[in-house]
Amino acid sequence: MSAAVIDGRAAAAEVRAKVATAAAAFQTKTGRQPGLATVLVGEDPASAVYVRSKGKATGEAGMASFSHTLPASTAEGELLDLVAALNPDDAVDGILVQLPLPPQIDAARVIAAIDPAKDVDGFHALNAGRLATGLDALVPCTPLGCLHLLKAQLGDLAGLEAVVVGRSNIVGKPMALLLIGASATVTIAHSRTRDLPEVVRRADIVVAAVGRAEMIKGDWIKPGATVIDVGINRVPGDGGKGRLVGDVEFASVSEVAGAITPVPGGVGPMTIAMLLRNTIVAAHRRAGLTDPEGL
């Protein structure tokens, strides 16, 4: 194997330590802890695990965590009422409604109801628009984490060819916008892209956010490229429990790439670190303070 393996856990620990320092300073200045409210609707086991780990990480960073769990049968109006109660609550700096939501609830309507200043997932149209127009925004956590890893690995991204595979609102599109903001030359590929391997072969930076296990192969990769694997796919193995793999075939790609994120231990830990980062930034902006340094 030739590629350097990018340690997302170590990078995330650094961000979390900076958030903890900023949270303590915020408390000294304002007399209160920054706070994150999480809302889980239903019993999807993966969502429950995500929300629990977000709550735990919030506490570890010295921030208050307010956890709301609603039954799967919750009507859209009840969830909107909860959001309407959290919006003006001064102890709450960030509101995270865990997706997916049950079918009777329109996720777009719920996202639109969240105060954009507390939208720590960065999914509100106002924050998406601010990102697209180059204004300060709360940016979706996963692509923000990917950008952090890329800058730590490569330094200046200006002029590099970047190919983002996937065009979702939560990963692909904001990732492409962040890379444009960093002056990379960006291509967004998706399920209708012609000759995807050839497109990916151009890239100095590949970000894979597809949701297809090990789709991107070693012979698609330009030698020395930096590969960020966002995918989380459970495949059979590991004594029936299943094993997690990314959208990139790690064994073959790591023979060719210059650097690569593993799954697990790459992008995943950065997502939670960036959620904490967005919460402390939201807290500062709401309190009229300048953004914490280095975050």
Annotated catalytic residue 98: yes
The 8-class DSSP code of residue 220 comes to G
Which of 18, 33, 93, 98 is labelled catalytic? Answer: 98
Is 210 a binding residue for ligand NDP by CB under 6 A? The answer is yes
Instruction: Say how far apart CA 40 and CA 62 lie, in whole Å.
Output: 22
Among 69, 168, 185, 187, binds ligand NDP (CB under 6 A): 168
Query: Cβ distance 220 to 197 under 8 Å?
Result: yes
Is 122 a binding residue for ligand NDP by CB under 6 A? The answer is no
Contacts of 53 (CB under 8 A, 6+ apart): 272
Instruction: Say how far apart CA 109 and CA 256 lie, in whole Å.
Output: 44
Is 166 a binding residue for ligand NDP by CB under 6 A? The answer is yes
HSE of 195 in the Cβ direction (CA atoms, 13 Å)?
A: 4
Among 58, 142, 153, 226, binds ligand NDP (CB under 6 A): 142
Instruction: Say how far apart CA 52 and CA 58 lie, in whole Å.
Output: 10
Which of 93, 115, 119, 121 is labelled catalytic? Answer: 121
Among 86, 147, 171, 176, binds ligand NDP (CB under 6 A): 171
Instruction: Say how far apart CA 115 and CA 162 lie, in whole Å.
Output: 33
Among the listed ranges 55-63, 64-72, 199-207, 224-232, the one in contact with ligand NDP (CB under 6 A) is: 224-232
Which residues would be at the binding site for ligand NDP (CB under 6 A)? 142, 165-168, 170-172, 189-193, 196, 209-212, 230-233, 267-268, 271
Q: Which residues are catalytic?
A: 54, 98, 121
